[in-house]
């Protein structure tokens, strides 16, 4: 297994007993990352979506690793899921975005909120790599405040009719099914979620966002719904329960971003160590220059500072999943996840910035591993809740609910 990832497993192993099955999942994540590394690079520099994500992650049993064994998954708990994401994050945030949405915002949400019928129709096929998911919450005018969404639904007989468009949706144009959030046409305070088939009449992708500054191997699209019909059986999480569902999804998503950010820092560290030992300037390896050593030391510190809040949040998440009605646990988890996401994503970007500096001119190219990590990691401070939203949530966690900055 990759060295820094092995170290993470070893460090956690001193306080958590990994079962044989769990170690197998981690080994498979390592194999999947290894197998994807070349194609991820090739597609990145061509600035195109990597079609191998689904195939390779399915082959190694990673695409549904977190799903309960009852539905064909491997039952990876939050800590093991975080480690899987950490290893995949070493390849950059493109692969990470794909799996984050597929696993944490798709599969895990269906497992949490789906009906038995939905689990049969969507979850089991997803574990087999037969269904790709997207999470349609964000809109042009509803980013940090998703409750301002303009997409509407209205009931006609046993069906719901959806109209509106979603914005910057990961996997948006490659998804078989999208979890779409909308407000009632009759009551703007009533929000609900629906599982929408991308082959439905009235569903279209008028634009794919290809002009990003990174994340090239991940699909980003703006799905549009013009009178899309959804059967009652595909109401997701219950009518009127949309925001509750949405926010629980964001917690999953934030954990995923935080985990991948650890992987980004590890990849930065690997790249600068290799570079520092090979590149010679002023008659010696640049790793022998003290200012380069400072960058390496800072990146190593960042790794240490990033990973423990994420692991700790994962441990709390496992406790919460075992006791979901525990109100104080959910509040603490919310705080822990925001801390993990904000700390890890900022440190990932800072590490990538330092790594570019160590590489010098070549670092300012997406041909270099650090150039790609730099471009990719910036988004980690934005998607699934900006730094600013995380700060507000952290302050609320410290001050109490009465001090909530937004409603």
Which spans of this chain sit near other proteins (rule: CB under 8 A)?
37-38, 41-46, 270-271, 274-275, 278, 359, 362, 367-369
Query: DSSP assignment, residue 200?
Result: S
The distance of closest approach from Cβ of residue 369 to other proteins in the complex, given in angstroms and rounded to an integer, is 5
Query: DSSP assignment, residue 106?
Result: I
Q: Which is nearer to other proteins, 302 or 368 (CB)?
A: 368
Q: Which is nearer to other proteins, 46 or 188 (CB)?
A: 46
Tokens, residue 18: 């990994």
The distance of closest approach from Cβ of residue 323 to other proteins in the complex, given in angstroms and rounded to an integer, is 42
The distance of closest approach from Cβ of residue 49 to other proteins in the complex, given in angstroms and rounded to an integer, is 14
Count CB neighbours of 400 within 10 A: 10
3-state helix, strand, coil in the chain (%, to 5): 60, 15, 25
Q: Which is nearer to other proteins, 362 or 403 (CB)?
A: 362
Q: Which is nearer to other proteins, 279 or 300 (CB)?
A: 279
Residue carrying structure tokens 């999480």 = 237
d(CA 223, CA 204): 6
The distance of closest approach from Cβ of residue 34 to other proteins in the complex, given in angstroms and rounded to an integer, is 8
- Of 112, 109, 117, 115, residue with least CA distance to 133: 109
- Of 64, 105, 59, residue with least CA distance to 84: 64
Q: Which is nearer to other proteins, 223 or 369 (CB)?
A: 369
Judge whether 354 and 299 are in contact, CB under 8 Å. Answer: yes
The distance of closest approach from Cβ of residue 267 to other proteins in the complex, given in angstroms and rounded to an integer, is 9
The distance of closest approach from Cβ of residue 88 to other proteins in the complex, given in angstroms and rounded to an integer, is 14
d(CA 1, CA 375): 26
Residue carrying structure tokens 């730094």 = 387
Residue 156 pairs in a beta bridge with 159
Q: Which is nearer to other proteins, 231 or 278 (CB)?
A: 278
Q: Is 34 a catalytic residue?
A: no
- Pick the catalytic residue from 22, 40, 107, 384: 384
The distance of closest approach from Cβ of residue 363 to other proteins in the complex, given in angstroms and rounded to an integer, is 8
Indicate the angle between helix axes 3-13 and 20-45, nearest 10 degrees: 150
Is residue 49 classed as helix, strand or coil in its secondary structure?
coil
With a CB cutoff of 8 Å and minimum separation 6, the contacts of 230 are 153, 159, 160, 161, 162, 194, 195, 196, 200
Q: Sign of torsion, CA 221 226 232 236?
A: positive
Q: Which is nearer to other proteins, 45 or 395 (CB)?
A: 45
With a CB cutoff of 8 Å and minimum separation 6, the contacts of 397 are 331, 332, 334, 335, 338
Tokens, residue 249: 């999804």
Active site residues: 384
């Amino acid at each position: 297994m990759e060295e820094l990832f092995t170290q993470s497993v070893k460090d956690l192993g001193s306080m958590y007993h990994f079962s044989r099955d769990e170690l197998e999942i981690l080994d498979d994540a390592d194999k999947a990352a290894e197998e994807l590394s070349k194609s991820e690079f090739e597609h990145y520099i061509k600035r195109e979506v990597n079609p191998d994500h689904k195939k390779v992650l399915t082959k190694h049993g990673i695409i549904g690793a977190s799903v309960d064994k009852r539905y064909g998954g491997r039952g990876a708990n939050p800590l093991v899921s975080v480690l899987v994401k950490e290893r995949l994050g070493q390849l950059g945030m493109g692969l990470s975005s794909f799996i984050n949405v597929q696993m944490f915002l798709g599969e895990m949400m269906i497992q949490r909120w789906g009906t038995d019928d939905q689990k049969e129709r969507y979850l089991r096929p997803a574990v087999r790599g037969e269904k790709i998911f997207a999470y349609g919450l964000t809109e042009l005018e509803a980013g940090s405040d998703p409750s301002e969404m303009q997409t509407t639904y209205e009931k006609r007989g046993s069906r719901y009719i959806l109209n509106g468009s979603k914005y910057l949706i990961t996997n948006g144009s490659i998804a078989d099914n999208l979890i779409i959030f909308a407000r009632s046409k009759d009551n703007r305070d009533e929000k609900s979620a629906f599982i929408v088939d991308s082959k439905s009449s009235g569903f279209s992708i008028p634009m794919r966002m290809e002009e990003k500054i990174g994340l090239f191997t991940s699909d980003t699209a703006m799905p549009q719904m013009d009178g899309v019909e959804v059967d009652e059986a595909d109401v997701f999480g219950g009518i009127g329960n949309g925001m509750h569902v949405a926010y629980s999804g964001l917690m999953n998503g934030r954990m995923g971003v935080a985990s991948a950010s650890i992987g980004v820092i590890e990849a930065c560290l690997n790249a600068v160590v290799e570079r520092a030992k090979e590149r010679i300037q002023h008659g010696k390896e640049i790793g022998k220059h003290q200012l380069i050593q400072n960058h390496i030391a800072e990146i190593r510190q960042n790794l240490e500072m990033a990973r423990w809040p994420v692991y700790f949040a994962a441990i709390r998440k496992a406790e919460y999943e075992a006791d979901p009605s525990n109100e104080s646990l959910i509040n603490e988890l919310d705080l822990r996840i925001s801390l993990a996401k904000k700390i890890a994503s900022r440190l990932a970007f800072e590490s990538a910035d330092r790594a570019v500096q160590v590489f010098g001119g070549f670092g300012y190219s997406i041909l270099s591993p650090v150039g790609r990590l730099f471009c990719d990691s910036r988004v980690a401070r934005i998607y699934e809740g900006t730094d600013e939203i995380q700060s507000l949530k952290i302050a609320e966690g410290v001050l109490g609910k009465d001090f909530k900055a937004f409603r």
